[in-house]
Structure formats: structure tokens, C-alpha cells
Structure 1
Amino acid sequence: MNFASDNGGPVHPKVLEALAAANDGYAMGYGNDPLTAEVVQGIRDLFEAPEAAVYLVGLGTAGNVLALSSLVQPYDTAFCTPMAHINVDECNAPEFYTSGAKLTLVPGTDVMTPEALRAAIAAEGTRGVHGPQRGAVSLTTVTEEGNVYALERLQALCDVAKGFGLPVHLDGARFANACVALGCTPAEMSWKRGVDVAVFGGTKNGLMGVEAVILFDPKKAREFELRRKRGAQLYSKHRYLAAQMKAYLDGDLWKDLATRANRQGAALRAGIEAAGLEVVNATQANMVFFRATGAQHRALKAGGAVYHIYGAEPAGDDGMAIGRLVCDWSMSDAAVAQFLSMLRDVA
């Protein structure tokens, strides 16, 4: 019953098989191997973007910060929500890798509104040379609070950004989960909405450690290549990144794994609500946030459930706190059923 994070789940067997298959003989390094070329073409095909520049990196933070660094100058600012991963979970890496560009937080929740974005961008253009320049907009789906941007909302936000001449970065650590939740294609959730650079995440969805950065404007390719090298993300044994991503693409494994995780998220939501407890997010994907008392949380954890308390720890037995449950591709029906049985007992 480990719901702590989809980072903590196992690597899918097909990925391990692909790594073993790639571990044969010699191959050119630094992405000059045939497997990487095949993966680049596969991602272009998946995203219906034949001219896109595609690069593999080892982790999500690297994908995000290198993508942003290719969009903004040191004197710029990137607009994001207060809960964006680039703001709360990356130890100022965006500022470091952009050589000083700042983040401007768009007021509101984890899901940005077009009105709030328009106001934030407009307000940042009032100080001329004395203030940061408007740089880029960064969006996340699935958000840090488990919500998914509707395609119409994504389109509206991209339209606002384009109205100010700003590029859009999409943090897609859980890109597959969002895509499955929306029932859309990767193209429909990215460049067809107006996204300029997307991260196609794999580490949270059954891969050992690889993310794809997709620049829909190939004019940015050379700069990204240099930034990736300077940022220590150009792997010499690159074929092992490519092998993982090849397995992810084959037979739409990315979609199958996200579907499994999302299905368990939906089962958790239904069971929690049936037990009379409140779910506080939309739960369209694989993350569930529920409100319970301190006594209930402690009883669940004593029974073997592993998950995080979101925000402050509950005060006493009656104090309320929000628990965060995250399902990965391997989450079993039995684990979900056991958790919900415990929940009914404590509720």
C-alpha cells in the first residue's frame, strides 16, 4: 500500500528488457547511435511534429530547466503558478540554469486562469529597463495538486501568452497521465494548443530515468544542445536513455501504464467518497488528495499505508489534514482494496 509517489514504483519489465537488449556490443556515444535516431523519429511521429527537435535527459528537473533556459534570457521572467514544480521543488534550478531569470508567480491556485495570467504579464511590463522583461509562460499538467488542464483552458492560456509574444513551456512529468485523462493525442495537448516546448515524462510512469524535451521550433535546437552539454545532461552512453524511451513508445506502452495508474486513482476517489470522506481535487489522473482527521491518518499509517500529509501535520486527533495518494502503473487492485477497507473501518 505504497502511495507515496509514482517516482517510487518499479521499472516496467519491458523497459528492463530493452536495456538488456541495448547492452550488447558497442555504439557511438552522446546520442549518435541508431537507437537514439529511431526514438527521435518515434517521438516526432507520436507528436505529429516531423520538424521537432527532440532531446533526451535523465530527469525531470533537467528537462524543465533546460527547456526554460532555451526560452528566456537572464534578464527575463517566467510566469508560473505558486504551486508549479519549477517554483516549489527545484531548488532555484530555473534561476541557476537561466543565469538569473526570475519566476513571476501568477496569483491563484495550481490551475492558472487566463485572466490572472493576462494581468500578471501586463503588470510586469511597467518598469522598462528597471524590471524583469517578459520571458515565457510555464504550465504543468498534471499539476502538483493532481489536477489536469482542460484542452480549452490550455488553449486560452497559450492564446494569452501569444498575445504578448511569449513562448509556452509545458512541464509534462505526468504528461501521459494527463493525455489519458483528457482522451486526447500528445499533439492535441501540446503544439496544437500553442505550446512551444514540452517535456514528455517517463520516470514517473514506469521508466528508470529519462524524459524527452520536444522543441516544436527547431530553430532552438542548437542552443538546447549546447545548454544540455553545459548542464551535464549529455550522456556518453546515451543508448541506455534511448532504450528506455524506445520501450515506452513501442505499442503505446506510455499510454497503457498511465491508464493503469489513472484507473487506480479513480478507484481510490470512489472508495474514499463512499466512506464519507472528502476528496479535495478533481482526481482526473493518478493523484488523490483527501481530508481526514489526525486520528484517521495515524490509523491508516499504522495499518501499513504509506503516503504523505500535504501541508501541516494534523493537530491532535480531531485536527484535519490532507493526505496525498499517488498511484503508479504497478499499483495493484489488492492494495487499493486493502487501503479502502482500512479507510472504511477508521471512518
Structure 2
Amino acid sequence: MHFASDNSGPANPAILAAIATANAGYAMGYGADEEMVKVTARIREIFEAPEAAVYLVATGTAANVLALSTLVQPWQTLFCTGPAHINMDECNAPEFYAGGAKLTLVTGADKMTPADLRTAIEGEENRGVHGPQRGPVSITQVTEFGTVYSLDELGALCDVSKSYGLPVHLDGARFTNAMVSLGCTPAEMTWKAGIDAVSFGGTKNGCFGVEAVILFDPAKAQEFEYRRKRGAHLFSKHRYLSAQMLAYLTDDLWLKNARTANAKALRLAEGLRSAGAKFSHTPQANMIFAALPRATHQKLFNAGAVYHLWDGGLEGADEEEVTARFVCDWSIGEDQIDKFLELL
């Protein structure tokens, strides 16, 4: 009954098999492997972007900060929501890799709105050399609270950004979960909406550890390569990254894993709803935020359930409701969900 994170689940056997296959013999390093040529072609195909520059790194933080650093100058500011991973969970890595560019938070809820984004943008670049200049906008999809921007919402945010001449980055750690939830194509959720750079996640969706950075403007490619090397994220035995991503994109594994995770989360959400749980956000992908009485959490933990409490602890009144985060990955078994809901 493990619902703590999709980082906690195992890698898909097809990914491990691909790594084992890649382990035979010799291959050129630093991204010059044959598998990387295939990965680039495949990503360009599925994103309908034949000129896109494609690079692989091992972590989501590396993907985000290296992509953003190619879009921003040190004297600029990046716009994102308060809950965004680049603000809450990356230990100032965006500022570090961007040479000191600051973050400006777009106020509001989990999702930014065009009006709030415009207000945040208008609040900067108005003090001459004494204040930060306007820089890129970063959007998280799936958001940190399990919601999904519609294509219209993405397009509206990109329209605001482009009206100020600002590039847009998409943090897609759970990119495929969002895409299958919307029933759209990768192109529709990215460059067709106005996105300039994407962190295309694989690790949370069944890979061992690989993320792709996709730059739709190939003019940014050389700078990214320098930044990746200077930032110590260019793997020498790169073929093990390439093998993962190639297997991930073969036979629709990326889609199957995301659909499975989303479906399991939907089933879990239905069970939580039937038990009277209160949702702080409507679940739209594979992540759920729901409140239960503290005593119920204690009983579930005692029975072996694993998940994170979000806005309180186990100390306090039994009847007080405490919000928790539940995440389903591709591997979670029906038996685990059945057992959890039976206990609930």
C-alpha cells in the first residue's frame, strides 16, 4: 500500500532490460552513442518537431535548471507559481545555474492564471538597472497538486508571455500523465501552445533515471551543450541514458505506464470519495490530495500504508481532518488499492 511517490516505485522491466542490452560491448560516450541518434529521431517524431534539439540528463532538477538557464540572463527573473518544483524543491538550483537570476512568484493558487501572470510581469522591469528584468515563464504540468492545465489554459498563459517577448518553459516531470489525461498530442501540449522548452520526464513514469530536455529553437542547442558540460551533467557512459529513453518511447510504454498510473489514481480517488474524504484539488492525473480524520490516518499507517501527510501531523485531536498526498505509479497493484480501501 505504497502511495508516497511515483519516485518510490520500481523501474519498468523493459527499461532494465534495455540497460542490460546496452551494457554489451563498447559505445561512444558523451551522447555520441547510436541509441541517442534514435532517441532524437523518435522525440522529434512524436513532438512533430523535426528541428528540435534533444538532450538527456539523469534528474528532473537538472532538466529544469539547464533548460531555464538557456532562456534567462543573470539580471532577469523567472516567473513561476509558489508551489512550483523550481521554487519549493530544487534548493536554489535555478538561481545557481542561471548565474543568479531570481524567481518571481505568480500569486494565486496551484495554477497560474493569465491575469495573475500579467500582474507579476508588470511588477518587474520598472526600476531600470536597479531591479530585475523580465525573463522566462515556467509552467508545471502536471501541477504540484495533481491538476492539469487545459490546452486553452496553456495557450492563454503563453499568449501573455509572448506579448512581453518572454519564452516559456514547461516542467513536465509528469508530462505523459498530463498528456493522456487531456487526450492530446505532445505537440499540442507544447510548441503548438507556445512552449519553447520542455523538461520531458521519464523517471516518475517507469524509467530508472532519465529526463529529456527538448528545445524547439535549435539556435539554443550549442549553449545548452556548454551549460550541461559546465554543470557536470554530461554523462560519459551516456548510452545508459539513451537506452532508457529509447525503451520508454518504444511500443508506447510511456503511454501505457501513464494511463495505468492515472487509472489507478482514479480508482483510489473514487474509494476515498466514497469513504467521505474531502479533496483540496480535483484529481486529474496520478496524484491526489484528500483529507481524512487524524485517527483514520493513524490506523492506515499502523496497517502498513505509506503516504505523506501534507498539512498536519499525527499529534492532535483524533477527529481533526488532515490532508494527505497519495500518488499512484505504473506498478501499483490492484491488490494494494483493494487492501487500502478495505481498511479505509
TM-score (norm: length of structure 2): 0.99
SS at match of 2:249: helix
- 1:72–1:135 CA contact under 8 A, matched in 2: yes
Distance 1:270 1:177 in 2: 18
| 1:341 partner letter | E
Are 2:7 and 1:17 aligned?
no
Distance apart, 1:50 and its partner CA = 0.2
**Residue of structure 2 equivalent to 1:168:** 168
* CA distance in structure 2 between the aligned counterparts of 1:26 and 1:20, rounded to whole angstroms: 13
The worse-fitting range, judged by mean Cα deviation, of 319-328 and 274-283 is: 274-283
Question: Following TM superposition, by how much is the alpha carbon of 1:321 offset from its aligned partner in structure 2, in angstroms?
Answer: 1.0
Q: What does residue 144 of structure 1 align with? A: 144
Amino acid in structure 1 at the alignment position of 2:326: L
Q: CA deviation at 1:292?
A: 1.1
User: C-alpha distance in 2, partners of 1:102/1:312?
Assistant: 30
Residue 305 of structure 2 aligns to which amino acid in structure 1?
A
Letter in 2 for 1:230: R
**Match for residue 332 of structure 1?**
333
Equivalent residue for 1:215? 215
Q: 2:233 aligns to what?
A: 233
Please say if residues 173 and 201 of structure 1, whose CA atoms lie closer than 8 Å, have aligned partners that are also in contact: yes
Deviations 1:69-92 (A, max 9, x none): 000011110000000000000000
CA displacement, residues 217-263 of structure 1 (integer Å, 9 cap, x when unaligned): 00000000000001111000000000000000001110000000000
Superposed counterparts of 1:1-347, under 5 Å: 1-313=1-313, 315-343=316-344
Q: Give the deviation of 1:312 after TM superposition.
A: 2.6
> SS of the residue aligned with 2:326?
strand
- Return the letter of the residue paired with 2:310: Y
CA shift for structure 1 position 271: 0.8
Q: Report SS of the residue matched to 1:8.
A: coil
2:252 alignment partner, SS class: helix
What is the identity, as a one-letter code, of the residue corresponding to 1:120? A
The amino acid that maps onto 2:91 is C
TM-score by length of 1: 0.98
Shift of 1:202: 0.3
| Alpha-carbon displacement from aligned partner over 1:106-150 (angstroms, at most 9, x marks no partner) | 000110100000111011122111100001000001111111111
RMSD: 0.8
The residue matched to 1:6 in structure 2 has which SS?
coil
- Kindly report structure 1 stretches of 4+ aligned residues shifted beyond 6 Å: none
1:317 partner SS: coil
Give, as a single letter, the amino acid of the residue that structure 2 aligns with 1:93: A
SS in 2 for 1:251: coil
* Paired residue type of 2:261: A
Gap regions ≥5 residues in structure 1: none
Amino acid at match of 2:295: A
**What is the Cα deviation at residue 275 of structure 1?**
1.3
Amino acid in structure 1 at the alignment position of 2:181: A
Structure 1: how far apart are the matches of 2:216 and 2:248?
21
Letter in 2 for 1:320: E
List gaps (5 residues or longer) in structure 2.
none
